[in-house]
């Protein structure tokens, strides 16, 4: 049992009881052997010293094995290697054999010779007795002689068989003398040796099976296994390790670990081996294969002692693909982290309980934290904007429970300085591989400055609109004043004529104004008064922001009137071409607004041509029908406009002229749009500009 138990390092209660029984039986056998040898020594003083030495030697060797079994196996310490146990038991058996040959067998032969001598002496003495007594004594002496001879022969045969390794035989003497006791002692000793040899054989078989199993496990293991001594010389490798490095097993058994380790030098490897602990450290290194390529490996190493030799056991695993995957994952993580950190927005993510799991540095600063790590685990109730926490959590709960993102909305925030800032926020649910919502991702940008700019722009636009209204009112008032001037002059002239007629004392019918002429003057006065009233209503609508007064009128006649008035005002001569479409339908718009726009566009064209010193300024006015709209085009042969000017010519306060405030085109477009049309420009630098506007047809 001992070897098997030491190999497995485990002993059952049954095995322990069996060992205790064997120990008791061996002790009894040794005790009987000692008593018999002491008794034989007392009767044979010449043999006493050798028999006593043999008894002590056999007893001491056996006791050493008994002590080892008690201290190491029965106590479950298992500190003695199986091979050491084999050595001790083998040594005990060898000493038993030696005592058998050197002491016990010679002592037995000496006893036999002494008995033979005594028997021969007894035989000679009996010759002097009577013949009957001689016959009787002779009979018994011969019987004793042959009995002793048989016993000696039996002892001799058993001893020689025992010496030859056959311990199955036993000595069975029919006598009851010292030879019988010696034979019984030999039988007991043979029984003990038989038990030890059987135990040894069983242990060897168990060890052989265990070795075979271990060798099979090592050879067929999926991990690469190699064993080397403290100098790095290879002792054993398995097939997987040979395949990993591309060497044959015979090659590897003649190599040193430094020949394939591509990371450490020989000295470094020796230091690593010397510092290895018994805790199976795991480390990573690089191995060079037979073809010169390198692989990343993970090694689990452990020191061990086998047959008194210090060895290092290593289990290696190729982790090259894992390292590549880890590198790719790390690069991907670094890239994602870089994107998160350098994104021009604040980014954060939370769990289902609205606890922060992470954020970028910009968000952490807004939250009053020194770093993103400081924010992890906190909620909005722990931060500067705790007063808005309920609002935030309600939004987030709705997003996570519905699974529907909430995108691009504005919400207030409290910065670390206690000031309210504005953010444009989007929140989307985070999902796991099972599509279950696990949290929330939020992104927002600080739009506080943008909100300020928008407010400033609104304020500015309001100012521009106010100025625009003032300009429109001014131009409208000027146009209305012009419109009022004509009918008022006509009314004045007609009224003067009528007064002169009524004051005249002439009754010459040929010189008097006829009744129809007087009636015509009064009708003209009425029409001009109506015209003046319309102009005043236009003025009131502009001043009170009302919808312009629209009427159906002949666009061609209005254009001709505007051109005639414009030519009277502009003294420098210019060539004009009126390409007005005949039988043009009426338009539905404000006549006054149309006149203002025509005047602005004609003036802009003339000023541009004058500034460019065009020798022969030309203006072409064209009307065309475009579906349900009437189009008017005013084209000049001036310098044209650059692309950057074309983008801004309709902006308020933008002008390309040294004079003016840049409101004319802005006002003109506003007036045209107010009447349901549009105004735009086309220009080619060096070839002039064309302005187009449309008005809806009356039909």
pLDDT tens per residue, range 367-391: 889 899 999 999 999 988 888 889 8
How high is the pLDDT of residue 121?
Answer: 58
Our separate counts of H helices and E strands in the chain read 20, 17
Q: What is the mean pLDDT of the chain?
A: 76
**Same domain membership, residue 362 and residue 505:** no
Does the pLDDT value for residue 147 go beyond 60?
no
**Same domain membership, residue 364 and residue 232:** no
The candidate with the shortest Cα–Cα distance to 628, out of 592, 588, 661, 601, is: 588
Highest mean pLDDT among 333-342, 412-421, 550-559: 550-559
47-51, 184-188, 331-335, 432-436: least confident range: 184-188
As for how many domains the chain has, the answer is: 5
**Same domain membership, residue 489 and residue 418:** no
575-579 and 679-683 as β-strands: parallel, antiparallel, unpaired?
Answer: unpaired
Would 29 be classed as within a structural domain? yes
Q: Give the domain CATH number at 531.
A: 1.10.287
CB-based burial, 222-243: b 16+ in 10 Å, e otherwise: ebbbbbbeeebebebbbebbbe
Mean pLDDT, rounded, for 625-640: 92
> Alpha-carbon distance 402 to 394, whole Å?
12
Residue 440 and residue 456 in contact, taking contact as beta carbons nearer than 8 Å: no
> Alpha-carbon distance 416 to 466, whole Å?
40
Would 315 be classed as within a structural domain? yes
Reported pTM: 0.37
**Same domain membership, residue 384 and residue 266:** no
**Same domain membership, residue 506 and residue 440:** no
- Write out 175-211 in H/E/C secondary structure: CCCHHHHHHHHHHHHHHHHHHHHHHHHHHHHHHHHHH
Mean pLDDT, rounded, for 329-344: 87
**Same domain membership, residue 311 and residue 394:** no
Does the pLDDT value for residue 637 go beyond 60?
yes
Would 582 be classed as within a structural domain? yes
Q: Point out which residues pair with 431 in neighbouring strands.
A: 437
**Same domain membership, residue 41 and residue 137:** yes
More confident: 319 or 9: 319
> Alpha-carbon distance 610 to 616, whole Å?
10
**Same domain membership, residue 109 and residue 14:** yes
> Alpha-carbon distance 445 to 426, whole Å?
9
Confidence of residue 507 (pLDDT cuts 50, 70, 90): very low
Does the pLDDT value for residue 663 go beyond 70?
no
Would 20 be classed as within a structural domain? yes
575-579 and 618-626 as β-strands: parallel, antiparallel, unpaired?
Answer: parallel
Laid out side by side, the sheet with 437-446 consists of 356-359, 346-351, 437-446, 420-431, 406-414
How high is the pLDDT of residue 133?
Answer: 43
| pLDDT tens sequence across 431-478 | 999 999 999 999 988 888 888 887 788 777 776 666 656 655 565 555
Q: Give the domain CATH number at 403.
A: 3.30.450.20
Domain assignment of residue 377, given as a range: 344-446
How high is the pLDDT of residue 85?
Answer: 63
Domain boundary, last residue among 209, 232, 264: 209
> Alpha-carbon distance 262 to 241, whole Å?
16
Q: How far is the CA of 118 from the CAs of 125, 183, 345, in angstroms? A: 11, 21, 123
Residue 390 has a CB neighbour count (10 Å cut-off) of 11
Domain boundary, last residue among 403, 422, 446: 446
DSSP string, 241-273: HHHHHT--HHHHTT-BGGGTBSSS-HHHHHHHH
**Same domain membership, residue 683 and residue 599:** yes
Mean pLDDT, rounded, for 126-148: 45
> Alpha-carbon distance 537 to 529, whole Å?
12
- 694, exposed or middle or buried, with CB in 10 Å at 0-12, 13-18, 19+? buried
Would 556 be classed as within a structural domain? yes
Would 641 be classed as within a structural domain? yes
| pLDDT tens sequence across 513-543 | 555 666 666 666 666 666 666 656 655 555 5
Confidence of residue 630 (pLDDT cuts 50, 70, 90): very high
More confident: 338 or 489: 338
More confident: 698 or 145: 698
Residue 66 and residue 26 in contact, taking contact as beta carbons nearer than 8 Å: yes
With a CB cutoff of 8 Å and minimum separation 6, the contacts of 531 are 483, 486, 487
> Alpha-carbon distance 390 to 395, whole Å?
9
Mean pLDDT, rounded, for 554-564: 90
Q: Give the domain CATH number at 630.
A: 3.30.565.10
Residues recorded for the chain = 699
**Same domain membership, residue 560 and residue 518:** no
Domain boundary, last residue among 446, 467, 499: 446
Would 7 be classed as within a structural domain? yes
In the chain, % of residues over pLDDT 70: 61
Highest mean pLDDT among 162-166, 311-315, 438-442, 455-459: 438-442
Output the CA torsion sign for 286, 288, 294, 300.
negative
How high is the pLDDT of residue 144?
Answer: 45
Would 98 be classed as within a structural domain? yes
Laid out side by side, the sheet with 282-288 consists of 234-237, 224-229, 309-318, 294-306, 282-288
How high is the pLDDT of residue 128?
Answer: 46
> Alpha-carbon distance 641 to 113, whole Å?
150
| pLDDT tens sequence across 30-79 | 777 778 777 777 767 776 777 677 777 777 777 777 777 777 677 776 67
User: What end-to-end distance do the CA atoms of the chain give, in Å?
Assistant: 122
How high is the pLDDT of residue 361?
Answer: 92
**Same domain membership, residue 603 and residue 660:** yes
Mean pLDDT, rounded, for 86-113: 61
How high is the pLDDT of residue 56?
Answer: 77
**Same domain membership, residue 173 and residue 25:** yes
> Alpha-carbon distance 208 to 133, whole Å?
68
Confidence of residue 343 (pLDDT cuts 50, 70, 90): confident
More confident: 121 or 352: 352
């Amino acid at each position: 049992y001992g070897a098997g138990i030491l190999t497995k390092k485990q002993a059952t209660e049954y095995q322990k009881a069996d060992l205790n029984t064997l120990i008791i039986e061996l002790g009894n056998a040794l005790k009987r052997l000692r008593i018999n040898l002491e008794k034989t020594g007392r009767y044979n003083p010449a043999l006493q010293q050798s028999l006593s030495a043999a008894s002590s030697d056999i007893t001491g060797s056996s006791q050493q094995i008994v002590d080892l079994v008690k201290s190491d196996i029965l106590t479950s310490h298992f500190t003695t290697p199986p091979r050491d146990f084999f050595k001790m038991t083998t040594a005990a058996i060898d000493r038993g054999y030696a005592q058998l040959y050197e002491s016990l067998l010679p002592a037995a032969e000496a006893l036999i010779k002494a008995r033979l001598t005594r028997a021969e002496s007894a035989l000679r003495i009996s010759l002097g007795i009577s013949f009957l007594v001689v016959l009787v004594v002779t009979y018994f002496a011969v019987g004793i002689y042959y009995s002793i001879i048989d016993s000696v022969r039996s002892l001799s045969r058993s001893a020689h068989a025992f010496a030859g390794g056959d311990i199955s035989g036993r000595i069975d003497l029919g006598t009851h003398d010292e030879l019988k006791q010696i034979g019984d002692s030999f039988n007991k000793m043979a029984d003990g040796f038989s038990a030890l040899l059987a135990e040894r054989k069983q242990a060897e078989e168990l060890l052989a099976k265990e070795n075979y199993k271990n060798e099979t496990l090592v050879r067929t293991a999926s991990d690469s296994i190699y064993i080397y001594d403290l100098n790095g010389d290879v002792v054993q490798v398995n097939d997987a390790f040979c395949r990993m490095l591309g060497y044959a097993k015979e090659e590897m058994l003649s190599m040193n670990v430094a020949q394939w380790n591509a990371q450490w030098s020989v000295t470094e490897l020796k230091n690593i081996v010397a510092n290895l602990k018994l805790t199976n450290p795991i480390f990573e290194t690089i191995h060079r294969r037979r073809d010169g390529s390198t692989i990343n490996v993970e090694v689990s190493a452990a020191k061990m002692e086998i047959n008194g030799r210090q060895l290092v056991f290593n289990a290696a695993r190729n982790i090259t693909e894992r390292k590549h995957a880890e590198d790719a994952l790390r690069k991907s993580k670094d890239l994602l982290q870089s994107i998160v950190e350098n994104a021009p927005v604040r980014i954060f993510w939370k769990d289902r309980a609205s606890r922060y799991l992470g954020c970028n540095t910009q968000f952490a600063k807004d939250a009053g934290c020194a770093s993103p790590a400081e924010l992890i685990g906190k909620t909005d109730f722990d931060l500067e904007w705790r007063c808005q926490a309920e609002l935030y959590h309600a939004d987030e709960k709705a997003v996570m429970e519905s699974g529907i993102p909430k995108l691009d909305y504005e919400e207030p925030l409290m910065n670390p300085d206690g000031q309210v800032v504005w953010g444009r926020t989007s929140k989307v649910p985070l999902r796991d591989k099972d599509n279950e919502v696990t949290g929330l991702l939020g992104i927002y940008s600080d739009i506080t400055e943008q909100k300020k700019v928008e407010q400033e722009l609104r304020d500015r636009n309001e100012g521009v609109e106010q100025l625009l209204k003032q300009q429109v009112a001014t131009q409208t008032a000027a146009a209305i004043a012009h419109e009022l001037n004509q009918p008022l002059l006509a009314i004045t002239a007609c009224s003067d004529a009528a007064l002169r007629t009524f004051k005249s004392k002439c009754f010459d019918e040929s010189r008097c104004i006829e009744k129809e002429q007087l009636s015509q003057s009064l009708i003209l006065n009425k029409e001009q008064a109506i015209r003046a009233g319309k102009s005043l209503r236009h003025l009131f609508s502009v001043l009170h922001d009302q919808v312009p007064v629209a009427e159906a009128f002949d666009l061609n006649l209005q254009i001709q009137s505007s051109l005639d008035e414009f030519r009277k005002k502009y003294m420098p001569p210019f060539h004009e071409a009126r390409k007005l479409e005949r039988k043009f339908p009426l338009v539905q718009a404000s006549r006054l607004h149309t006149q203002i726009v025509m005047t602005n566009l004609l003036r802009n064209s003339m000023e541009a041509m004058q500034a460019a010193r065009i020798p022969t300024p030309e203006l072409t006015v064209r009307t065309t029908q475009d579906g349900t709209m009437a189009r008017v085009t005013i084209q000049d042969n001036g310098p044209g406009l650059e692309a950057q000017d074309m983008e801004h010519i309709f902006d308020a306060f933008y002008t390309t002229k040294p004079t003016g405030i840049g409101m004319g085109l802005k006002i003109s477009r506003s007036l045209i749009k107010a009447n349901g049309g549009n105004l735009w420009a086309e220009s080619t630098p060096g070839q002039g500009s064309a302005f187009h506007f449309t008005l809806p047809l009356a039909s």
